[in-house]
Amino acid sequence: MTEPVGKDAPEVPAEFMVRAENVHKSFGRVEVLKGIDLQVRPGEVMCIVGPSGSGKSTFLRCINHLEKINGGRLWVNGKLIGYREKNGKLYELKDREVAEQRREIGMVFQRFNLFPHMTALENVMEAPLRVKRRSRSEARARAEELLDQVGLGGKTGNYPSQLSGGQQQRVAIARALAMDPALMLFDEPTSALDPELVGEVLTVMQQLAADGMTMVVVTHEMGFAREVGDSLVFMDGGVVVEEGTPSEVLANPSHPRTREFFSKVL
C-alpha cells in the first residue's frame, strides 16, 4: 500500500461522465490550465473550441492520464483520475491501476497513429486481443462489426498506406471503440485531413453521438458543433471563458474574446 497523499477523499459525483473541478496544469513554471471547471453528462457531446495554445489538448490529455494535473480534481465515470480511495483517504494509483482507468476512455488524435504494419482489421483487433485478452475469433468478429459501422466493411484487409486519410481516421475511431469505452475524446480529428475527407469522419462521429456515446470533441468545425454538440465551450489562456448550448454561445457570445474568436472562424 502506498502512502496516503494526505487529502481526504471527496464525494464521487456519479451523475457526470466527466467532472473537472478547478483543474490546474503547469509545464515547469508555465501554467497552461488555470482552474478548469467543467461537467459532461452521460450521452452528452461537448465541443471545445479556442485559439491555438489555449490548453485544449492539454485538458484532454489530463482526462486521459497522458498528463498529470497539479491541482484540482478530475473524475471520469465516477472515478477520481489518478487516485484510489480507501477509508476516506486518497492513494496515488499504481501504473497498472492507471491503465485500468484509461481503458474506459477512447481517444482519437489529429494524426491517426495506426500501426503501419497491420491491416485495418488487425489494428482494431490489437487492443482487445492484448489488453482485454479476447479470443481471436471474438476480437475479429467485433472488429469486423466496428469497421462496418464506420463504413469500412470492404477495407478490412487494407494497410494504412492503402487507405485515405479519412479512411485511416475512421479506422482509428473503430480502434478506440474496440475497447468499449464509456467516453470518447477527439482532439481535432479532422484538422489533418484534406477538406473533401472531413465530412466522412464527421458523419461517423455524428452517428456515434446519435448512438448515445459521451464525447468531448476539440474541433474547429463549427457546423459540427452546432448540429451535433449539446454544449459548446470556448477556452482561452487556460480558462473556460464561455460555456452554453451551441446556439446560445454562437448566436450570442457574451465575452469579447469569444466574439473575436468567432468572427475569425465563422
Binding site for ligand ADP (CB under 6 A): 27, 32, 50, 52-58
CB of 54 to ligand ADP, least distance (A): 4
Q: Please provide the size of the chain in residues.
A: 266
Nearest to 38 by CA among 53, 54, 60: 60
Answer with the entry of ligand ADP, Mg ion, none that 55 interacts with (C-beta below 5 to 8 A by kind).
Answer: ligand ADP
Q: Which is nearer to Mg ion, 55 or 165 (CB)?
A: 55
Q: Which is nearer to ligand ADP, 60 or 209 (CB)?
A: 60
Distance CA 134, CA 120 (A): 18
Answer with the entry of Mg ion, ligand ADP, none that 58 interacts with (C-beta below 5 to 8 A by kind).
Answer: ligand ADP
Q: Which is nearer to ligand ADP, 53 or 153 (CB)?
A: 53
Answer with the entry of ligand ADP, Mg ion, none that 53 interacts with (C-beta below 5 to 8 A by kind).
Answer: ligand ADP
Q: Which is nearer to Mg ion, 57 or 219 (CB)?
A: 57
Total Cβ atoms within 10 A of residue 263: 9
CB of 163 to ligand ADP, least distance (A): 26
Distance CA 115, CA 43 (A): 30
User: Interface residues with Mg ion (CB under 5 A)?
Assistant: 57
Distance CA 26, CA 72 (A): 12
The residue at minimum Cβ distance from Mg ion is 57
Which grid cell is 134? 479476447
CB of 16 to ligand ADP, least distance (A): 22
Q: Which is nearer to ligand ADP, 31 or 144 (CB)?
A: 31
